A = this chain, B = another copy of it.
Amino acid sequence: MKLLEKRILTEGKVLSGDVLKIDSFLNQQIDVKLLDEIGKELTRLFKDENVTKVLTAESSGIAIACFAALHLGCPAVFARKSKSSNISDNLWTAKAHSYTHGNDYTMIVSKDYIGPEDRVLIVDDFLANGSALTALVSLCRQAGAFVVGAGIAVEKAYQGGSKLPEFEGIRIESMAKIASMDPEKGIIFE
């Protein structure tokens, strides 16, 4: 998606430690028109899949999920991230690791909102090593839901997260795919 690539090149800041800061339009300030366009593009790509739920993780995934769900005509659901290992009969839980924050966390969603009748489109702001996406896929599989695919805003393709064996058979569509990223040399897209 050229629109997103352009914004990343204009406003994105590549920091040390492999961090891409796009706070000005996605991770703190939200350019809702841009995210609405991402929602429309995901709808174009997945419109024949009879999506019943769009699943994401708090917090930065929520805006993308809302606009995708609006155009797909289904509800959005967001998994919460907890530092404690919540165990409850009514929760699907999956462990994940944040390389950005250097901590483990548990992804949690109520069993009331993802079930075996669901055809789920997972969306998220970033796909890097694939840890968050692995956890979201795990929540769906525990629920017996079918994952129609994953829609990602920004994929750090050089990290290879989308190639994990856990994602075999899952169609992953990224709106911007970064081939390489460096504080000095800048960002190169695939």
List residues of chain A with CB under 8 Å of any chain B CB. 23-25, 28-33, 35-36, 53, 58-59, 62-63, 65-67, 69-70, 75-78, 80, 109-110, 112-113
Per CB-CB distance, the 9 closest pairs between chain A and chain B, nearest first, are A58-B59, A30-B76, A29-B113, A62-B62, A32-B70, A32-B69, A59-B59, A29-B77, A63-B66
Q: For residue A25, which residues in chain B have a CB less than 8 angstroms away from its CB?
A: 75
Considering the complex, give the chain B residue whose CB is closest to the CB of A74: B32
Q: How many Å from the CB of A167 to the closest CB on chain B?
A: 25
From B23, B24, B63, B110, give the contact of A23 (CB < 8 A). Answer: B110
How distant is the Cα of A23 from the Cα of B110 in the complex, in angstroms?
Answer: 9
Contact check: which of B24, B32, B58, B75 meets A66 at CB < 8 Å? Answer: B32
| A102 → chain B closest CB, angstroms | 14
A109: chain B residues within 8 A (beta carbon): 28
**Within 8 Å CB of A112, what residues of B?**
23-24, 29
Chain B hits for A58, CB < 8 A: 58-59
- Chain B CB count within 10 A is highest, among A28, A36, A65, A112, for A28
In angstroms, how far is the closest chain B Cβ from the Cβ of A139? 12
Contact partners of A110 in chain B: CB under 8 A: 23, 28-29
Chain B, residue nearest A73 (CB): B33
Q: With the chains together, A76 CA to B32 CA distance in Å?
A: 7
Contacts of A59 in B (CB 8 A): 58-59, 62, 78, 80
Distance between Cα atoms of A23 and B67 in the complex (Å)? 19
Say whether A77 contacts B28, CB under 8 Å: yes
User: What residues on B are CB-neighbors of A23 within 8 Å?
Assistant: 110, 112-113
Residues of B within 8 A of A69 (CB): 30, 32
Residue of B nearest to A79 (CB): B28
